[in-house]
């Protein structure tokens, strides 16, 4: 599969490398169409879906000369990373694998509506840094007999389930965005200070210039979330 340029190949490789940092056995689901390859991954413990899109060059596939190859497959993230050729701006798609359960429940393709009230990127980065510091402080304060995985998970779940303002977006989604390289300090690169929040059904999607983090916030739909203000596009 031919990517638009070497920069797209490098960005894809960086994203896959970050996923593998958290899970050496990570899988990703690939969907291609309309000149774009979407790569879906799930960093463990964050309970979110990270989405990185890369632009494609024409492939001369079934759609005719210049058309992208239709694709929807789950593969090993490690094998896909090995197939990325940054110099040639190409990626070899490895053999399909049996996907994990999350790969069968992806965010919707359309129907996303803007959600108001998202703090600016600097504020979100500070909120994540403060939460990390709180977790470390509370972990250090645990007596030895309570310093267990269950207790640490309880503290982490309490902290990362907090929401940003009245948006309904859990803090773990912002933490995930920073961890996979989607949330960067303003001024770090063009578009680094831009972020937006969208809603569709039971999903929220935090979008930045580098990718999106989608999180399922409930089966009752977002209208049931107190304080959530949705603005129609």
Model pLDDT for residues 51-98, shown as the tens digit of each residue: 999 999 975 344 444 454 589 999 999 999 999 999 999 999 999 999
pLDDT at 132 over 90: yes
pLDDT of residue 69: 56
Q: Where are the domains of the chain?
A: 6-104, 115-193
Matching residue, tokens 């690939």: 30
Closest CA to 162 of 150, 151, 174, 153: 174
What residues have CB less than 8 Å from 172, skipping those under 6 apart?
46, 47, 48, 160, 161, 215
Give the predicted TM-score (pTM) of the model.
0.86
Question: What would the pLDDT profile of 4-54 be if each residue is shown by its tens digit?
Answer: 999 999 999 999 999 999 999 999 999 998 899 999 999 988 899 999 999
* Nearest Cα residue to 26 out of 69, 60, 80, 77: 77
Q: Can you tell me the distance from the alpha carbon of 50 to that of 232, in angstroms, rounded to the nearest whole number?
A: 24
78 compared with 227, residue with greater pLDDT: 78
108 Rama sector, left if φ>0, alpha if ψ -120 to 50, beta otherwise: beta
- Residue pair 121/192 in contact (Cβ under 8 Å)? The answer is yes
pLDDT for 64 equals 44
Instruction: Quote the DSSP letter at residue 103.
Output: G
Instruction: Look at 89-93, 114-118, 119-123, 228-232 and tell me which has the smallest mean pLDDT.
Output: 228-232
% the chain with pLDDT above 70: 86
Q: Rounded to 10 degrees, what is the CA torsion of 54, 16, 108, 233?
A: -50
Average pLDDT, the chain: 88
Reading the block at residue 223, the tokens are 């209208």
Cα dihedral across residues 68, 102, 208, 84: positive or negative? negative
Task: Please give the average per-residue pLDDT across 97-103, as a whole number.
Answer: 93
Helix axes 149-160, 171-179, angle to 10 degrees: 100
What pLDDT was estimated at residue 44?
Answer: 87
Q: Which CATH number fits domain 6-104: 1.10.8, 3.10.150, 1.10.287, 2.30.30?
A: 3.10.150
Whole-number pLDDT of residue 224: 38
């Amino acid at each position: 599969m031919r990517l638009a340029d070497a920069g797209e190949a490098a960005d894809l490789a960086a994203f896959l490398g970050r996923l593998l940092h958290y899970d050496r056995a990570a899988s990703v689901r690939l969907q291609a169409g309309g000149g774009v390859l979407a790569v879906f991954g799930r960093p463990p413990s964050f309970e979110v879906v990270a989405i990185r899109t890369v632009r494609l060059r024409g492939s001369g596939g079934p759609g005719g000369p210049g058309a992208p190859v239709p694709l929807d497959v789950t593969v090993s993230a490690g094998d896909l990373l090995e197939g990325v050729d940054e110099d040639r701006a190409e990626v070899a798609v490895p053999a399909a694998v049996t996907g994990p359960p999350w790969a069968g429940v992806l965010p919707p393709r359309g129907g996303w509506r803007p959600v108001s009230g998202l703090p600016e990127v600097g504020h979100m980065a500070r909120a994540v840094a403060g939460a990390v510091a709180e977790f470390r402080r509370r972990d250090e304060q645990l007596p030895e007999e309570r310093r267990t995985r269950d207790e640490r998970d309880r503290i982490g779940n309490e902290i990362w389930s907090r929401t940003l303002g009245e948006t309904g977006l859990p803090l773990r989604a912002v933490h995930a965005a920073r961890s996979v390289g989607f949330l960067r300090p303003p001024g770090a690169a063009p578009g680094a200070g831009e972020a937006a929040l969208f809603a569709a059904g039971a999903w929220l999607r935090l979008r930045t210039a580098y990718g999106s983090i989608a999180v399922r916030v409930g089966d009752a739909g977002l209208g049931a979330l107190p304080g959530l203000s949705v603005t129609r596009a």
